[in-house]
């Protein structure tokens, strides 16, 4: 499936693989997919699925797929928590989030579950 949604007034192209489309069709409720952009002593990006998606603003990319974008930060930079998925994060208050919103998102579903990537070019 290919579709375009709007997040913070910016168009985002969303593409899901055939296996992802089949997995979505089997769901009883929409899957929330969150593009997380992490700012600290480095910038990290991650795609969060389902219960790992913590944001509150999601756009419908289909009946079973809702997509959101969440810029986050930490209060301090600790190298030991950089790879931890449970590092304490807070929303990053961006006055104009539009320039930070990715241009595209691709999701897939395989033997290891949901995977995704996003980018700006």
- Single out the residue of 33, 5, 1 nearest to residue 18, CA to CA: 1
Helix (H, G, I), strand (E, B) or coil at 121: coil
Q: How far is CA 86 from CA 24, 46, 118, in A?
A: 26, 13, 21
Tokens of 5: 């949604």
**Number of Cβ atoms within 10 Å of the Cβ of 15:** 15
Percent of all residues in the chain with a pLDDT value above 70, rounded to a whole number: 88
Return the domain boundaries, the chain: 2-119
81 pLDDT band, cuts 50/70/90, is low
- Single out the residue of 38, 22, 120, 20 nearest to residue 77, CA to CA: 38
Residue with tokens 């790879």: 83
Tokens of 116: 């995704």
pLDDT digits (tens, 9 = 90+) for 10-37: 999 999 999 999 999 999 999 999 999 9
What's the pLDDT at 93?
A: 72
pLDDT digits (tens, 9 = 90+) for 36-75: 998 877 788 999 999 877 777 899 999 999 999 998 887 7
């Amino acid at each position: 499936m290919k579709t375009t949604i709007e997040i913070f007034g910016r168009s985002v192209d969303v593409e899901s693989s055939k296996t992802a489309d089949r997995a979505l069709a089997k769901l009883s409720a929409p899957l929330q997919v969150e593009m997380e952009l992490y700012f600290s002593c480095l910038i990290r990006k991650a795609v969060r699925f389902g219960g790992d998606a913590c944001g509150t603003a999601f756009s419908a990319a289909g009946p079973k797929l809702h997509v959101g974008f969440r810029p986050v930060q930490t209060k301090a930079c600790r190298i030991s928590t950089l790879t931890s998925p449970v590092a304490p994060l807070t929303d990053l208050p961006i006055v104009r989030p539009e320039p930070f919103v990715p241009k595209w998102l691709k999701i897939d579903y395989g033997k290891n579950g949901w995977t995704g990537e996003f980018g700006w070019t």
